[in-house]
Amino acid sequence: MRKFIQVSLALVAVFAITASKASAQDIEKEISTFAAEWQTAFNAGNSEALSQMYTRDVLVLNADGSTANLTNEQIAAQFEQDFKNAKSSMEISLDRMMAAPGGKVKVFGHFNRVDTDLKSGKSTESTGSFEHVVIKFRSGWKLCELKLIQN
């Protein structure tokens, strides 16, 4: 009987580890899909769709160490202003992800952005990396913390 219990516990541990790996893979796939949807919305100039991909209040970590909180409305307004003056496109790549407290996931990656001024036709390219935090709601993943590091 004791051996049966030990074998049963070992099987439970194996199933738990397997389920955990599958769950982590599912989360990575979901976040990769979310990132692709964000990129598509950005490249289409869809500020409304983009603003819905953020929590109501977003913490922004600035390069100088200061922080700011932005609302969905402020995020939408910023994108609208950007898209009004330029045709923008961005390519993002996800490098790695790690669990964060509170059911959040920290996502590390790189970006390459090109903005073409609608009046002059002049293009400006910017590249860098990001460290964002996402959290899952019933409606899906949302960005809740942003940190951009421009090169």
Which pTM value belongs to this model?
0.82
Q: Which residue has the tokens 């990001």?
A: 130
Q: pLDDT at position 84, please?
A: 95
Q: pLDDT at position 110, please?
A: 96
Q: pLDDT at position 139, please?
A: 83
Average pLDDT over residues 75-90: 94
Tell me the pLDDT of the chain averaged across its residues: 87
Q: pLDDT at position 104, please?
A: 95
Q: pLDDT at position 99, please?
A: 92
- The predicted-structure confidence for 115-126, as pLDDT tens digits, reads as follows 999 999 999 999
89 — pLDDT class (breaks 50, 70, 90): very high
Q: How far apart are CA 48 and CA 65, in angstroms?
A: 29
CATH number assigned to the domain with residue range 31-150, chosen from the 4 options 3.40.50.300, 3.30.420.40, 3.40.50.261, 3.10.450.50: 3.10.450.50
40 — pLDDT class (breaks 50, 70, 90): very high
Whether residue 129 contacts residue 111, with contact meaning beta carbons closer than 8 Å, is answered with: yes
Q: Between the CA of residue 62 and those of 10, 51, 66, 68, what are the distances in Å?
A: 47, 19, 5, 8
- The predicted-structure confidence for 42-65, as pLDDT tens digits, reads as follows 999 999 999 999 999 999 998 888
